[in-house]
Amino acid sequence: MELQGTVKKLFDAQTFASGFQKREMVILTQEQYPQPINIEFLSDKISLLDNVREGETVKVGINIRGREWVSPQGETKYFNSITGWKIEKVMDNGSEPTQASPSQSAAPVSNENPFAGDDDDDLPF
């Protein structure tokens, strides 16, 4: 899956006691109701954010992950996370793909009925 938006916030990399590392960023989607989406980059993927700056428009390849957690009281809860694995900058000036326009050499459209002279009607109904 992919998300596209403007980088709203970049956080510093975090290193945990186990050696696990992650870095998060928030992008603001570009739609009628923009959404701030937090995306985690894990381990070797944190370096993908080194050349990204707040305010830039990016397209991010993501995976959605879920996990189950049972509290000490026996209550089960579910958590989701969005993990980034690819990021590319998008130019703001007309970067969206444009739809190809019809070729000028296309055959003209005829309004003539191709079956007008066919009087041999052999349909059974």
Write out pLDDT tens, residues 81-91.
Answer: 999 999 999 98
pLDDT band of residue 100 (cuts 50, 70, 90) is very low
- pTM score above 0.75: no
Average pLDDT of span 84-111: 60
Percent of the chain with pLDDT over 90: 72
| pLDDT at residue 76 is higher than 90 | yes
Half-sphere exposure of 2 (CA within 13 A, CB side): 11
Measured CA to CA, the distance from residue 41 to residue 18 in angstroms comes to 17
* DSSP type of residue 31: S
* DSSP type of residue 53: -
Tell the CATH topology of 2-89: OB fold (Dihydrolipoamide Acetyltransferase, E2P) (2.40.50)
